[in-house]
Amino acid sequence: MESGMVSVDRWCAGSQVYFLTHLHADHIRGLTPKWTRGPLYCSRITAKLFPIKFPGFDLSLIRIVEIGHWHSVSLLSPSSGSSTILYFMAIDAHHCPGAVMYLFRGEFGCTLYTGDFRWESTSERAQTGRTMLLKAMQDVKLDMLYLDNTYCNPTYCFPSREVAARQVLSIITSHPNHDIVIAVDTLGKENLLLYISRVLKTKIWVWPERLQIMHLLGFHDIFTTKTSVTRIRAVPRYSFNIETLEGLNTMCPTIGIMPSGLPWASKSFRGKEKLSSESPPLLLDNRWHTDIATSSTSSKPNGGSLSSGRYDHYIYTIPYSDHSCFSELQKFVEFLKPTNIKGIVSSSASNVDPLYHFGSLCRIQQASELLCQRLKSKRYEKVGVIGMKSPFGCTSTMQLGRKRRKRQNFSASIHVSRVRLLRRERQGVKIVDTDPD
DNA sequence: GCGATCAGCT
DNA sequence: CACAGCTGATCGC
């Protein structure tokens, strides 16, 4: 296969088929309602939600990929004109509704693109995925793994969502007379809300657009837009801050719950925190990455007694994450034993290269060599292209989207040149050669 | 004027 | 630090 035939979460011109893993904003950047570049493959749930994100989108371009089934598409080599068949399967990514990983097989070999995913290896859901992957790859090795390396660092350690959900519930039940606001995005963390609703036998308020999404997802009697019927509200994360909580507390005692895998999520509130010596601190410390992760439920305010002190009086951060933690990534890689790995999130301060941590788990002998090459060339990279030897001796490439991450600290001149390079990339770099990466 | 893209922020 | 995603500025047709 030549370059530009297949794109995943990447929406530049030049591919014959386009794959979407899920509908979060950083994976659909570049996709517009006027899309005409080619067929777009996605899961059934994503297809159902699609018109909300892209009203007026030509739905005849959407191809639904059923989870757990092999699909195929014939692709044309732009230079030789010969055709080749791409086989692909979607596997539940356990991230947000509709999120899938894609397993590709073709003359280029076997590639798995996880997109954003959570691999709670002990859960029943992950067992299904494990079985599916085992069955789909029983006779082949995985040549390339594109991995959600959001938390690909041993410092990222957090419990399963089941455990985190119990922590959230415990906080709510320990504040029986408080209003509760929970920060959520436009998609994701539905299971947390469903769990709260089920156990507490209460409806949960959501904003009108979110209610529409809940209805499309099939949740009809659980959510409401009437504030009078419940003390629990799920609110947009961007509306969730110290000022909002302080404002709410002038009217009614209210606590906020921030479900996030980011260990520093609570710190972002510190800048605006107004210290009060009278009321006790309510925020959970963020040491869950060391102790709470291993305890069943620990939701007592300040239960872990962080030495650096208190955070906000109203906001609890809970390690409820839709991305895999480091140990889960490790298990995933051990399970798949890929020949090579590449992160789908480009470099940032604490997200290091998957090859650095998992290179020894790969089957390639030259892991360190590859890493050296990568470190030299990755700074300005946005677009990933896989190049693999096929069983037939030709080289193939596939264009893949990369998440954009905030830039690091650079000197002014380096920063400027990097901005320029990044800008050029965002305007669409066409990959012609096989990437040595 | 409008949609697409980007910077900045949380 | 930045999960995902908003707002407002700017670009380009």
Establish whether the CB of A412 is closer than 7 Å to any nucleic acid atom in strand B: no
Integer distance in angstroms from CA A54 to C1' C3?
Answer: 23
Integer distance in angstroms from CA A107 to C1' C6?
Answer: 43
- What SS3 state is found at A419? helix
> How crowded is residue A260: how many other Cβ atoms within 10 Å of its Cβ?
22
Question: Residue A140 has what pLDDT?
Answer: 92
Instruction: Please name the nucleotide lying closest to A264, CA to C1'.
Output: C1
Establish whether the CB of A413 is closer than 7 Å to any nucleic acid atom in strand B: no
Question: Residue A370 has what pLDDT?
Answer: 52
Task: Tell me which residues from 366 to 385 on chain A have a beta carbon below 7 angstroms from nucleic acid strand C.
Answer: none
**Considering only CA atoms, which residue is closest to the C1' of nucleotide C6?**
A238
Q: Where are the beta strands (DSSP E) in A196-337?
A: 204-205, 223-224, 232-236, 254-259, 315-318
CB A392 within 8 A of CB A371: no
Cα distance between residue A2 and residue A421, in whole Å: 25
Tell me phi and psi for residue A286, to 5 degrees: -105, 35
Instruction: Please name the nucleotide lying closest to A420, CA to C1'.
Output: B6
CB A110 within 8 A of CB A140: yes
Task: Tell me which residues from 248 to 287 on chain A have a beta carbon below 7 angstroms from nucleic acid strand B.
Answer: 268
Positions of strand B less than 7 angstroms from a protein CB = 3-7, 9-10
Establish whether the CB of A403 is closer than 7 Å to any nucleic acid atom in strand C: yes
Establish whether the CB of A265 is closer than 7 Å to any nucleic acid atom in strand C: yes
Instruction: Please name the nucleotide lying closest to A265, CA to C1'.
Output: C2
> Residue A23: which of A84, A102, A97 has the closest Cα?
A97
Please identify which residue in the block is written with the tokens 């922590």. Answer: A167
Establish whether the CB of A150 is closer than 7 Å to any nucleic acid atom in strand C: yes
Q: Where are the beta strands (DSSP E) in A121-210?
A: 144-147, 179-184, 204-205
Establish whether the CB of A116 is closer than 7 Å to any nucleic acid atom in strand C: yes
Chunk chain A into consecutive blocks of 10 residues (it has 437) and report each block's average pLDDT, rounded to whole numbers. Answer: 76 91 93 91 96 90 97 88 94 96 94 95 83 92 94 89 94 96 96 97 95 96 95 93 89 93 53 33 35 34 30 84 94 94 74 79 60 45 32 45 48 36 32 30
Instruction: Please name the nucleotide lying closest to A428, CA to C1'.
Output: B5
**Residue ranges of the alpha helices (H) in A280-409?**
326-336, 354-358, 367-377
Task: Give the CB-side neighbour count of residue A240, counting CA atoms within 13 A.
Answer: 27
CB A84 within 8 A of CB A77: yes
Cross-strand bridge partners of residue A73: A86
Tell me phi and psi for residue A186, to 5 degrees: -70, -20
Residues 6+ apart with CB under 8 A from A34: A56
Instruction: Please name the nucleotide lying closest to A34, CA to C1'.
Output: B3
Sort strands A71-76 and A340-343 into parallel, antiparallel or unpaired: unpaired
Sort strands A395-400 and A6-8 into parallel, antiparallel or unpaired: parallel
Length of chain A: 437
Please identify which residue in the block is written with the tokens 């070999």. Answer: A109
Q: What is the DSSP letter of A4?
A: T
Q: What is the DSSP letter of A347?
A: P
Question: Residue A403 has what pLDDT?
Answer: 63
Q: What is the DSSP letter of A315?
A: E
Residues 6+ apart with CB under 8 A from A82: A76
- What SS3 state is found at A250? coil
Establish whether the CB of A241 is closer than 7 Å to any nucleic acid atom in strand B: yes
Cα distance between residue A39 and residue A62, in whole Å: 6
Instruction: Please name the nucleotide lying closest to A27, CA to C1'.
Output: C4
Q: What is the DSSP letter of A433?
A: S
- What SS3 state is found at A342? strand
Question: Residue A243 has what pLDDT?
Answer: 86
Positions of strand C less than 7 angstroms from a protein CB = 1-6
Q: Please give the model's pTM, rounded to 2 decimal places.
A: 0.80
- What SS3 state is found at A94? coil
Establish whether the CB of A415 is closer than 7 Å to any nucleic acid atom in strand B: no
Task: Give the CB-side neighbour count of residue A273, counting CA atoms within 13 A.
Answer: 19
Instruction: Please name the nucleotide lying closest to A260, CA to C1'.
Output: C3
> How crowded is residue A220: how many other Cβ atoms within 10 Å of its Cβ?
8
Sort strands A254-259 and A179-184 into parallel, antiparallel or unpaired: parallel
Instruction: Please name the nucleotide lying closest to A22, CA to C1'.
Output: C4
Establish whether the CB of A236 is closer than 7 Å to any nucleic acid atom in strand C: yes
Phi/psi zone of residue A135: left (φ > 0), alpha (ψ -120 to 50 degrees), beta? alpha
